[in-house]
Homo-oligomer: A and B are copies of this chain.
């Protein structure tokens, strides 16, 4: 197991954009791409492209550019997107249901492969193509699916308990939609999506 160098989140997002650009370039049948052409499609400067890639060793040859296929495979590996990443979701309420049905994950390489809840009225129902299971089954399902990512969409009061269950089940990454902080062992990475924060950032720019 190797771990990636610590780079800013914004750089990670640019790398993911480069990966999509390279996938498109290949569809167009181009064998070599330049940092300028990647940058143009990604909306960043060629310098930025070169700088972002330089964190991961030497790629490309001056005057020739990057081998598109090689760079694409390398970026996919770096981003852990050389395979579909299996995610499990806990919380089948309105937000959880919306996330389970969200169409934007699959094209980017993430699949919500299992959904859990504790409510007997929800367990057994279907969300899209996935049946809601009791949360007691989380550990065995994580193992069976080879899932690495947990998504929390439970009420605030339950989120810490769910995060601990996810960590105990071996998940290494958690995306938390509950409006509260969760504490997990250091080996687990947590990101919180704070929807109100987005509105705060918008409101600041409103005319006063």
Contacts and interface: CB of A to CB of B under 8 A. Distances in A.
A201 B9 contact: yes
Contacts of A54: none
Question: Chain A: interface residue count, which band?
Answer: 35 or more
Interface stretch (A29-37, A61-69, A97-105, A137-145): A97-105
A204 B10 CA distance: 12
Interface stretch (A114-122, A161-169, A172-180): A172-180
Nearest to A97: B94
Given A81-B203, A199-B87, A94 B98 contact: yes
8 contacts: A13-B201, A94-B98, A97-B98, A104-B194, A105-B196, A149-B203, A175-B199, A193-B198
